[in-house]
Structure 1
Amino acid sequence: MNALLYGLVVVIWGTTWIAIFLQQGPVPAPVSIFWRFALATAAMMLILAVRGKLRALPLRDHLFCLLQGCCVFGFNFWCFYTAAAWINTGLESVIFSMAVLFNAVNSFLFFGQKPPARFFVAALLGLTGIVTLFWQDLVASGWNSTLLMGIALSALGTLGFSFGNMISLRHQRKGLQTMTTNSWAMLYGTLIMGMIALLRGDDFSPQWTVSYLGALVYLALFGSVVAFGAYFTLVGRIGPGKAAYSTLLFPLVALTISTFYEGYVWHINGIAGLLLILTGNLVMFARPESWLSGRLLRRKANVC
């Protein structure tokens, strides 16, 4: 079951980045996010209502769902949609893969789960990889402020996603159903983005093109309903750190697609940076103690 959930998350989230790229244009980011999660919320609520699984929540849990909606279904995507105008969405997905490091830090801050010693090695590899990945573009652009802003916003959006992970883990530790809390969080995220769009005076009309509407439906149904449900189920089954292992794989999908559709050009710095980041993520899941135990057991068996 876990393998199936991983597969869904990797394939879907690996392809949602190009869908975000297809939504770039005249429609303001808060409006695109509003329609995305409005459709997703309607689908989720309908599915749960038909199955009789939409549960009422106490006020305190609703407040946490509101916070989760801000972190996972609102402001973080505003960061990603805005950053997509300044940096390649495939590169955004690589920055997003650093969620495993954010999760390790936040698990310690909120749940007292001390990160293993290998976290510091992973963090060093990840940060070095980010600098290496963007070094050529930064130098070529003369340290352009919009490129730096795109990187910063992608990192900020990843931090928001990690906060949402912690809230989801809190829900599941209290025995709350993932689909129910996700539905309420999506609803609140939708309302918040709608209010922001109204205050900004944005036009709520979508772009009536096949690419924009197709991307909207894909992001709403697959990128939001299916993938988030699968991911947060993984968080509950194996914990936020291990669930974030999926982020080790989907950047490869996103960058491959970006190469063909966004014209991403692979250069030595990009390859080296990507390898450093992915190696850092992999280090977070290494279990040297398990490897050593296995070696000792095999030696013992050989002696016997």
Structure 2
Amino acid sequence: MLSPSGRDRGPAAGAISARTPVFRSAAMSSNPVLYAAAVLIWGSTWYAIEFQLGVVDPAVSVTYRFALAGSLMLGWLAVTRQRLLPPRAGWPAILVTGVFTFSLNYLLIYKATGLLPSGLVAVAGSTLSLMNVLNSRIFLGQPMRPAVLLGGLMGVGGVLLLFSPEIERHGWVGGTLLGLGLVFLGNYCASLGNMAVSKARRAQVPLVAATAWGMLGGAALTALTAVVRGVPFDFDPSLPYVLSLLYLALFGSVAAFLSYFTLLGRIGADRAGYTAVMTPILALVISTLFEDYQWNLSAALGLMLAVGGNILVMAPGSLRLKPPMAAGKAAAGEAG
């Protein structure tokens, strides 16, 4: 039998499993750490993407990022003598994750970041929490709380208010509207990938191997789109590009995604999506400090609405990172 980490477990090893109270308690106590890691890293990656734009086409940069991240993860599995290939049943979910999360999502987000301040891209990205809840209902059969609709409307309204300075400056046409649309479409692609990850985690598919192959698959698809478009595979040797690429690959891809996908398996896509509440706040702070994002009253109200809407979407029943007691047994079987 395979453990969530992909190691073969014998009878003795099975004495401490994800279903034992000791293991469950240790796993749940690490959830805040995983949550904080995802928020802090992803809150800063929006700005790091800015240094990937310019000399190298976004499709090529995305290819470099996930090819490097996926290769590093497979290398770590090889060094630690863990299983490199997930079970056959896990490959459909890995394929979906590669296409939607690690290819289409990031192609759209990189393009949007070239049109908008990174903080605004992050705030618009907070609608992922609502999309996760809606898609969890459609694809996973999870109940949708009435507060979701109100919270979703608040969140979308807040995003539009935050975009008001850009809209006033450029109007409802051109880069601002296109950038907003690209972010929303990218978010939905990411949410579809999240549904595939949730199903894979429920089926005990090894997390690291599945994520690594998903990244490599996404990199391959993105590279193919670059070849079809006739884009040259340039490389920018400048220090900002190289450092941002390493940061995005090592931290923004390996560390953050493993943290987030582990939360998906433990507490579900809806509660894991609560990271979308805090990430845009950090991203906007960075954008204000380094990109000279200009605040006004409508933008401040927009941030309050966006965050409040996300809290309302994610919070009914509990704001805790631990799942409710009724779901504890199921979550324990997915811990890892």
Asked if these proteins are the same fold (TM beyond 0.5), I'd say yes
Structure 1 partner of 2:188:
159
Runs of 4+ in 1 over 6 A off after TM superposition: none
Q: What aligned pairs does 1:172-211 form with structure 2 within 5 A after superposition?
A: 172-211=201-240
AA matched with 2:251: F
Change (3 A) 1:141 1:13: same
Change (3 A) 1:283 1:208: same
Contact 1:97 1:248 in 2 (8 A): yes
AA matched with 1:197: A
Higher helix share: 1
Deviation readout 1:246-280 (Å, 9 max, x if unpaired): 11111111111111221111111111111101000
Contact 2:90 2:205 in 1 (8 A): no
Contact 1:45 1:54 in 2 (8 A): no
Contact 1:169 1:240 in 2 (8 A): yes
Shift of 1:108: 0.6
Shift of 1:57: 3.2
Q: What aligned pairs does 1:1-304 form with structure 2 within 5 A after superposition?
A: 1-287=30-316
AA matched with 2:293: Y
Over aligned residues, Cα RMSD in angstroms? Answer: 1.5
Shift of 1:112: 1.4
Structure 2 partner of 1:302:
none
Deviation readout 1:275-302 (Å, 9 max, x if unpaired): 1010001112333699xxxxxxxxxxxx
TM-score normalised over the length of structure 1? 0.92
Q: What secondary structure, in the 3-state scheme, does the structure 1 residue paired with 2:54 have?
A: coil
Shift of 1:14: 0.6
Structure 2 partner of 1:296:
none
Shift of 1:156: 0.8
Higher mean displacement: 4-13 or 59-68:
59-68
AA matched with 1:127: V
Shift of 1:193: 1.0
Q: What secondary structure, in the 3-state scheme, does the structure 2 residue paired with 1:239 have?
A: helix
AA matched with 2:164: W
Counterparts of 1:283 and 1:219 in 2: how far apart (Å)? 30
AA matched with 1:149: L
Counterparts of 1:164 and 1:31 in 2: how far apart (Å)? 21
Shift of 1:55: 4.1
AA matched with 1:18: Y
Shift of 1:63: 2.9
Deviation readout 1:83-113 (Å, 9 max, x if unpaired): 1111111111111111110001000110111
